[in-house]
A and B are shown apart, each in its own frame.
Chain A
Amino acid sequence: MHKVYRRLAKRMTATALVVALAPLYAVGAGIYFYFSGIQEEQIKHELSTLAHNRMSAISLFLDERTSVLEVLAQTSSKEALTQPGALEKVFGLLNRRAWSFLDLGVIDAQGRHLAYVGPYPLEDRNYSEAPWFRETMLRGTFVSDVFLGFRGKPHFVVAVKHSAGANSWILRATIDSEVFTRLVQSAQLGQRGDSYIVNCEGNYQTPPRFGGKILDPSGIDLKHVPRRINVVERTTAEGKHLLTAFAWLPKKDWLMVIDQDPREALGPMNLARELELAVLGFSSLLIAASIIFLVRHMVRRLEEQDRERMAFDAQLAHSGRLVSLGRMAAGVAHEINNPLAAIGELAGLLDDLIDEDFRKSHPHGTLFKENLAKIQQHVERVRSVTHRLLGFARRMEPHLEALEVNQVLTEAFSFLEREAKLKGVEVKLELAQDLPSLQTDRAQLQQVFLNLLNNALDAVEEGGHLRLESWRDDGEVVVSVADNGPGIPEDMQDSVFDPFFTTKGPGEGTGLGLSISYSIMQKLGGSITFESVPHQGATFYVHIPIS
């Protein structure tokens, strides 16, 4: 492909790609962003609801435990609970209903542990210095943060005070961390979601699923967490991108945190996006391939057509030049013919007048005679040149018109009809009447028919037969000229259309008739063929294309 067409193909391809793909991508992006927005809102809403429910459940859990202890403290006496076996009984009753107390203890106003049921050896401990003790004595009811205490293991306690002045005492229970942690972690979502509680200092109160232990700082900046339930997108110190719901417990400065991996949350959306991208990619490839194929095909056709047109233009220009040349040749031939004829006739006359007596009696008689003969020979030479020029001029100027082949044939025949009659030659015409009109050059076709008829007439003896036929064949009209003359000898059949080939006697034919006819028919898009059986005659076929 020429570079002009390559550039054209590139520009067309680029334009077509932009026009075809831009709306596709715009619609794809629009759909994607619209639905991902909806999906994100939906996820945040669900997360917020989950946080609210979990926060309420945890709050209820703590309230229940606190209430049970409060009822017990208000309805029992220190003495009754410190009786041997009494506290074990109560502990057993409590845990039968709710398996969430790890131990239970009675502490007097001085911090002494009066009675204890549980797995740790804490009976003689004094809690007067413990923060929870002081808070409980001060507030009456207290749920502690998670701390290590005497047992050296993270835990938190619920403590209620039985107020009786100096005889006040405290009922204290440790909440089973496993139960509480399970309760908190039940809010964990998927494979990468997390849920935990942090205190007002930001330390973990339940163990997180990833990246930390209980009591470790969580890294959450609590100053910016509002009191209401709040869903935010955040990035952790480790660079983890998270969707997080925050919910403060109403009666305790604890923050319920539910983390969700946005990739996981948006999994279906991502799948949809990947699917959409795959569809878009496939469509784009298909469209691009079609466009490239079509554009290449079109541009190639265009190039071919342009090339054909240029060739045609060039041919037209060439023909134009040939036509001018032909006209000039014809003009020259015409101008030469008249004086040449005069020269020929004048020399001929002198030749006629120099008879044998004159030739012998005059000292230059023979020279006169010889030179006059030479002048006539040279006139003949020039004549053949001007006649060829005229023939050339005719062939250079094709003039197409709609014509009836039969008419052209009968016209040509009428040219020779009288000669045929004088020679006693019988001519039969069998012309098909259903022939289509043909677009071709009348004068040139006449020339061809004349040449063939002339040859046929020359070939037959007196009393011979000619047969002219026309018929329609596949896509062409065929005219045949048949004679019953001597035919063409087999060894000469290959040379019939060669220039200067002739079977006529010296001076009778130029040998150009068939050669010119052959080139005329080639030029008109047709052809000439022949069949000949020596001593029986020859048939020439002129094939003229219908279109």
Chain B
Amino acid sequence: MDSFSVLVVDDERDFLQALVARLSLRKLNAAGVDNGLAALEHLDKAPVDVVVLDLKMPGMDGLQVLDEIKRRDPKVEVVILTGHGSVESGMEGVSRGAFAYLIKPVKIDELLEKIVKAYEWKQTNQTLPREEDI
């Protein structure tokens, strides 16, 4: 599989650093930021395929960041990963364009699987017309 770029957005620094390191070890081009604004700045500077996004963060919350990402580049796929999980917020995220929704803590393999699927979806999606466009 090609290496692709992943941005992890989470205000929990220890978690963030460890996760970024682990993803990097798994041959992904991973980076991490601890707030929504920084995430948007990062997206402006470097191309990102998949964003792993926390929902509850100080400043911009995850759903706002999601909206902004999708507004700027709908092709970027987002996997929501939060400790404050519920079906409603998951539905909400998916309805706003997130690819998947996971509740912390999650096994690295499970997360990796979703990230890979999101990337594959992104690749497929680029060749297929989006549902909204039909």
Contact = CB atoms under 8 A, between A and B. Distances in A.
Contact of A414 (B18, B25, B87, B94): B94
Nearest to B13: A342
Contacts of A418: 99-100, 117, 121
B104 A352 contact: no
B105 A349 contact: no
B14 interface: yes
Contacts of A537: none
Contacts of A421: 121, 124
Contact of B83 (A337, A353, A443): A337
Nearest to A330: B86
B68 interface: no
B107 interface: yes
B18 A338 contact: no
Nearest to B116: A422
A338 B15 contact: yes
Interface residues of A, number: 38
> Which DSSP category, helix, strand, loop or mixed, fits chain B's interface?
helix
A447 interface: yes
B95 A414 contact: yes
A394 B86 contact: yes
Contact of B101 (A349, A383, A415): A415
A422 B121 contact: yes
A337 B124 CA distance: 33
B22 to A, nearest CB: 5
A203 interface: no
B104 A415 contact: no
A134 B104 CA distance: 150
13 contacts: A334-B83, A334-B84, A339-B12, A340-B104, A342-B18, A343-B105, A394-B86, A414-B94, A414-B95, A421-B124, A422-B120, A443-B86, A446-B88
Closest 6 CB pairs of A and B: A337-B83, A345-B18, A341-B104, A341-B105, A342-B15, A338-B83
Interface of B: 12, 14-15, 18-19, 21-22, 25, 83-88, 90-91, 94-95, 99-101, 103-108, 117, 120-121, 124
Given A342-B14, A343-B105, A353-B25, 8 more contacts: A337-B104, A345-B105, A348-B22, A349-B18, A352-B22, A380-B107, A418-B100, A418-B117
